[in-house]
Amino acid sequence: MFDTGLWRFGGFVDPARELQRLREEMDKIFSEFNQPIAREIPPVNAWIGEEDAVVAAELPGIDPDAMEITVVGDTLTLSGLREAAPLKEGESYHRQERPCGKFSRSLQLPFHVEVEKVRAIYEKGILMVTLPRSEAEKPRKISVKGE
Amino acid sequence: MKDLNKYEKKPVQETGGAERTKNRRVYLPRVDIIDTKDAVVMYADMPGVDQNSLDITIDKNVLKISGVVNPPAFEGHSLAYAEYDVGDYDRSFTISEDIDRDNVEALIKNGVLKLVLHKAPEVAVKKITVRAE
């Protein structure tokens, strides 16, 4: 019973190894902070470029007709419905983990959108909306003339 | 809070200190498993996976589904806002003896995998009557 304790404090512990272990523990704690947390559904990712923005959401197994995408000014709204498969007579669930129901999500973009030119692609369960920046708001280069 | 968590992707827990060779996150696909009269039907949410990047294997009584997702890249764009992470999918299930290994249907549509595991017809439940002497 005493043995382990004496060994530990008797200078037999490799300090380099202990430090390595501590580092691993810390890495573990901090890596958990890095994970994106979705506060609203569905979670979205957004890429911004000079000409347009691309907003992506993972929405597997949704009928594209049941999805609604609206753009007003600089706000994009994604909404829709995911229905649970109805069970037939004599069938039962072993597991039911996939979420279902209505969802709605709004996202404000850093610029106004050219509503006419918005494109949406639904592929492999991922919805991708391309939102071009409105012409009036595009950055303009101002040339400086020297006298 | 519970409902919101349902939409977050669940990362695979590393076991026994073994790490993956690829430096990419791996998630557990969410599944619905329905037991019908002559089959077990499984639906798995795997957005970003198509028929070419999906791998389904049955080894003895372990069914393994794994899918590779290639994160999108847009030239001239930078990721300004992120709420979800993109990663591969991996999940294993233990299946019972009465599943016919040679008769498994798999279909993927809109990022949802549908697996139909037919039950072997010969393994019908047999009742044993006990006689009293």
User: Looking at residue B99, which CATH number applies to its domain?
Assistant: 2.60.40.790
Structure tokens at A67: 């999805």
d(CA B101, CA B95): 10
In this structure, are residues B84 and B11 in contact, taking their beta carbons and an 8 Å threshold? no
B73-120 confidence digits (pLDDT tens): 888 888 888 888 888 999 999 998 888 888 899 999 999 999 999 988
Residue B43 falls within a domain, yes or no? yes
pLDDT value at position B37?
Answer: 86
pLDDT value at position A129?
Answer: 93
In this structure, are residues B41 and A95 in contact, taking their beta carbons and an 8 Å threshold? no
B13-69 confidence digits (pLDDT tens): 766 566 677 777 889 999 999 998 889 999 999 999 989 999 999 988 899 999 999
Verify whether the Cβ–Cβ distance A90 to B30 is below 8 Å: no
Q: Which of A93, A122, A124, A130 to mutate to test the interface with B (most CBs of B within 10 A)?
A: A124
Residue B111 has its nearest CB partner, among A39, A50, A126, at: A126
Helices within chain B (DSSP H only): 2-5
Residue B45 has its nearest CB partner, among A61, A92, A95, at: A61
Q: Judging by beta carbons within 10 Å of its beta carbon (0-12, 13-18, 19+), is residue A13 exposed, middle or buried?
A: exposed
Q: How many domains does chain B have?
A: 1
Q: Report CA Rg, chain B.
A: 19
Range of the domain at B104: 27-72+83-123
Residue B52 falls within a domain, yes or no? yes
pLDDT value at position B73?
Answer: 81
Q: Identify which of B90, B32, B41 has the alpha carbon closest to the alpha carbon of residue A61.
A: B32
Q: Identify which of B109, B91, B125, B103 has the alpha carbon closest to the alpha carbon of residue B40.
A: B103
Averaged over successive runs of 10 residues, the pLDDT of chain A (147 residues) comes to 47 74 78 55 88 91 89 91 82 86 88 91 92 82 84
* Residues in chain B within 8 Å Cβ distance of A82: none
In this structure, are residues A107 and A44 in contact, taking their beta carbons and an 8 Å threshold? yes
* Residues in chain B within 8 Å Cβ distance of A35: 11, 85
pLDDT value at position B102?
Answer: 87
Q: Report CA Rg, chain A.
A: 26
Verify whether the Cβ–Cβ distance B47 to A60 is below 8 Å: yes
HEC-encoded secondary structure of A69-132: EEEECCEEEEEEEECCCCCCCCCEEEEECCCCEEEEEEEECCCCECHHHCEEEEECCEEEEEEE
pLDDT value at position A34?
Answer: 53
Verify whether the Cβ–Cβ distance A98 to B30 is below 8 Å: yes
Verify whether the Cβ–Cβ distance B83 to A87 is below 8 Å: no
Q: Where are the domains of chain A?
A: 2-33, 44-84+100-136
Verify whether the Cβ–Cβ distance B80 to A46 is below 8 Å: yes
- Strand pairing of B54-59 and B62-67? antiparallel
CATH: 2.60.40.790, 2.30.40.10, 3.40.50.300, 1.10.260.40. Which one for A44-84+100-136? 2.60.40.790
Q: Which residues pair with A66 in a beta bridge?
A: none
* Neighbouring C-beta atoms of residue B95, cutoff 10 Å: 17
Residue B7 has its nearest CB partner, among A42, A45, A93, at: A42
Q: Which residues pair with B27 in a beta bridge?
A: B11, B89
User: Does the pLDDT of residue B121 top 80, yes or no?
Assistant: no
d(CA A139, CA A3): 73
